[in-house]
Amino acid sequence: MNSSNKQNSASSVNQSVKHQLLVPSSKEDLTGDDIVKKFLQNPLKKLFTYSETWFNLSFGTAMNPFYYLGSLAFFFLWVVLFSGVYVYIFFDTGIQATYQSIEYITHEQWYLGGVMRSLHRYASDAAIIVVVVHILREFALDRFRGFRWFSWFTGMAPLWLMVMLGITGYWLVWDQVAQYIAQGSARLLDVLPFLGGGMGRNFLGENINDRFFTLMTLLHLVGGPMVLIFSLWIHVKRISNVSPMGPTGLAAISFLALLVLSLVKPAVSHGPAEMLRIPTELDIDWFYLNVFPLLQYWSAEAVWGLILGVTFLLSFLPWLPWRRTPNAATVQLDHCNGCGQCLDDCPYDAVSIQARSDGARWKNEAVVNPDLCASCGICVGSCPSSNPFRRVDKQLTTGIDIPASPVYAMYAAVNTALAALNGSTKILVYGCKHGVDASLINSPGVASITFPCTGMLPSGFVDYALKKGADGVMISGCRSSDCHYRFGNQWVEQRLQRERTPSLRKKTDRQRIESCWGADIDADKLIGAVDLFYQKILREKCSGEVEDK
């Protein structure tokens, strides 16, 4: 093929094309939050997206920490737990013994006890950091409303429990920082009407005794962690396939970073607490103790107002305004054999398998909980009945379907897109609403279809497109490891690699299928990938024609 033909085929990628849309837009339209999206969410989204691009270059998408913030928080809490257990072995409760025991493991046993104390401190800070970044990222990507309200709302309790456990942990050191936060806590607790205002007097003199440290130890080591574990379980209750640590390599790198920091800058105490003296210079942990300096300038009531105001704002953010989720998936029993693949693939545990209710020859059937369903369509892509080669009387029907984007509409859209293709080389692009916009690929030889999630794409529709006239199929969606619905692109890749059912047929030419994953800022990446794919198919066709001659 001469250079002029190459230039013409390359430039054709930037011409017009018909774009088929399988996204229910009307029911997800938002009103009343344009200012929030423009001035808060969109700038934050750009910041995260560009930052993640650099992290992908450094770590790869499989270990980008931004994609595993929740799992990293769990991992850091595991480090906190195990290091805390070791520190507790040498910890003595008592107004005199507490400080001395901490000093012993810090300095006399620096090679292990000191490292464990530092790991305990820095892993606690890291947990708070990734949780806060996780909250900001979910807000920026608008992943907190609609069906996601439960995870967001129940995530507030673990956050504040972590903060309270961190504060009580600093109390147990009983140095000057502990004295400072104890007196600040007393001021905050004194204004609560149900405590009677007696806390402050206990910290103005030598009124603290050994039983107080026993109580704080039980609260920090037993009661608090148990409540935290329970609240975390509730937080992830509606999410399937939760990873408690994330990728092993990322966990190893994170632990190594904590270990190096513990050795280079070990955690140490201030001088011992003296209740009759006021500390003048302190180095506080701003991740946990950030509200206490406000007490120097604000009243305790004002600080409580800030704490409660932020808490209520964050907790009820999903309803400001509310996002309406499209109708939940529905099961068509006439076409459901109860295989359970939709159960395995559902990212939000919305599908369950129960005994058959219609007396059919199959033993089980799928059942959808509409309160948990995200209407992502991943279950449609996982259903073996979502096969365009099936013989149907009137229209294609599958075992589980999305009312707003039914599989027969997908079938019609594919046929329409294939009919719109012209030229010597024809490429069909399957795209995703939440990834890079596939409609930006403009060419008479390229057509695109957008799904609510690429995971909705059954592998049979890839075979169908190739058999019905497409020379190649490009599949696009969110960035790898960062699917808007958690697993959509991952499941598609596994189906194409024949590692997950329903898988691509063995006789399908895998060389005629490509994938390109990207965020909305990666339009040039997708256009370039389609162009290269177009050139590849065109060269193969040209070489085939030469061989035939």
| Number of Cβ atoms within 10 Å of the Cβ of 47 | 13
Please enumerate in sequence order all residues whose Cβ is within 8 A of that of 276, keeping only pairs 6 or more positions apart, or say none. 205, 206
* Residue 205 pLDDT greater than 90, yes or no: no
Domain boundary (273, 299, 319) is at: 319
Please enumerate in sequence order all residues whose Cβ is within 8 A of that of 251, keeping only pairs 6 or more positions apart, or say none. 72, 75, 245
CA distance 166 to 173: 11
Contact 73, 231 (CB under 8 A): no
Q: Is residue 273 part of a domain?
A: yes
Q: How many domains does the chain have?
A: 2
Residues 479 and 502 grouped into a single domain: yes
Q: Is residue 127 part of a domain?
A: yes
Lowest mean pLDDT among 314-323, 386-395, 465-474, 512-521: 386-395
Q: Which residue, chain included where needed, has tokens 């030889």?
A: 445
CA distance 526 to 429: 10
Alpha helices by DSSP H, 12-103: 34-36, 42-59, 69-89, 97-103
Please enumerate in sequence order all residues whose Cβ is within 8 A of that of 102, keeping only pairs 6 or more positions apart, or say none. 91, 117, 172, 173, 174, 175, 269
Give the per-residue pLDDT at 182: 85
Give the per-residue pLDDT at 25: 53
Contact 443, 13 (CB under 8 A): yes
Residues 18 and 108 grouped into a single domain: no
Domain boundary (273, 292, 319) is at: 319
CA distance 71 to 337: 35
Residues 165 and 218 grouped into a single domain: yes
Q: Is residue 283 part of a domain?
A: yes
Alpha helices by DSSP H, 241-390: 248-264, 300-315, 341-345, 378-382
Q: Is residue 328 part of a domain?
A: no
Q: Does the predicted TM-score (pTM) go above 0.95? A: no
* CATH code where residue 165 lies: 1.20.810.10
CA distance 150 to 513: 38
- Say which residue, 363 or 14, is predicted with more confidence: 363
Q: Is residue 12 part of a domain?
A: yes
Residues 516 and 537 grouped into a single domain: yes
HEC string for 359-390: CCCCCEEEEECCCCCCCCCHHHHHCCCCCCCC
* Residue 34 pLDDT greater than 90, yes or no: no
* CATH code where residue 407 lies: 3.40.50
Q: Which helix (H) or strand (E) holds 331?
A: strand 330-331
Confidence of residue 6 (pLDDT cuts 50, 70, 90): very low
Confidence of residue 549 (pLDDT cuts 50, 70, 90): very low
Give the per-residue pLDDT at 54: 95
* Residue 8 pLDDT greater than 50, yes or no: no
Q: Is residue 355 part of a domain?
A: no
CA distance 414 to 304: 58
Mean pLDDT (whole number) for 462-481: 95
From the number of C-beta atoms within 10 Å of its C-beta (0-12, 13-18, 19+), residue 278 rates as exposed
Give the per-residue pLDDT at 324: 80
Residues 17 and 42 grouped into a single domain: no
Residues 167 and 255 grouped into a single domain: yes
Give the per-residue pLDDT at 343: 96
Give the per-residue pLDDT at 374: 94
- Cis peptide bond N-terminal to 321, omega within 30: yes
Q: Is residue 137 part of a domain?
A: yes
Please enumerate in sequence order all residues whose Cβ is within 8 A of that of 540, keeping only pairs 6 or more positions apart, or say none. none
List Cα–Cα distances, 460 to 339, 374, 401, 472, in angstroms.
17, 23, 16, 14
- Name the residue range of residue 392's domain: 3-24+386-548
Give the per-residue pLDDT at 202: 58
Residues 97 and 20 grouped into a single domain: no
Q: Is residue 337 part of a domain?
A: no
pLDDT digits (tens, 9 = 90+) for 84-121: 999 999 998 887 888 999 999 999 999 999 999 999 99
Lowest mean pLDDT among 44-48, 274-278, 375-379, 501-505: 274-278
Mean pLDDT (whole number) for 209-215: 78
CA distance 35 to 41: 9
Residues 178 and 314 grouped into a single domain: yes
Quick one: which of 469, 429, 473 has its CA closest to 451?
429
pLDDT digits (tens, 9 = 90+) for 501-525: 999 999 999 999 999 999 989 999 9
Tell me the three state secondary structure of residue 175: strand
Give the per-residue pLDDT at 14: 38
Residues 117 and 258 grouped into a single domain: yes
Residues 197 and 306 grouped into a single domain: yes
Retrieve residue 533's tokens: 């794919």
* Residue 354 pLDDT greater than 90, yes or no: yes
* Residue 218 pLDDT greater than 90, yes or no: no
Q: Which residue, chain included where needed, has tokens 């007396």?
A: 359
The 427-432 sheet, strands edge to edge: 19-21, 446-451, 427-432, 472-477, 513-517
Lowest mean pLDDT among 18-32, 179-193, 466-480: 18-32
Domain boundary (271, 293, 319) is at: 319
Residues 290 and 156 grouped into a single domain: yes
pLDDT digits (tens, 9 = 90+) for 372-400: 999 999 999 999 999 999 866 578 899 99
Residues 531 and 402 grouped into a single domain: yes
Lowest mean pLDDT among 204-208, 230-234, 325-329, 529-533: 204-208
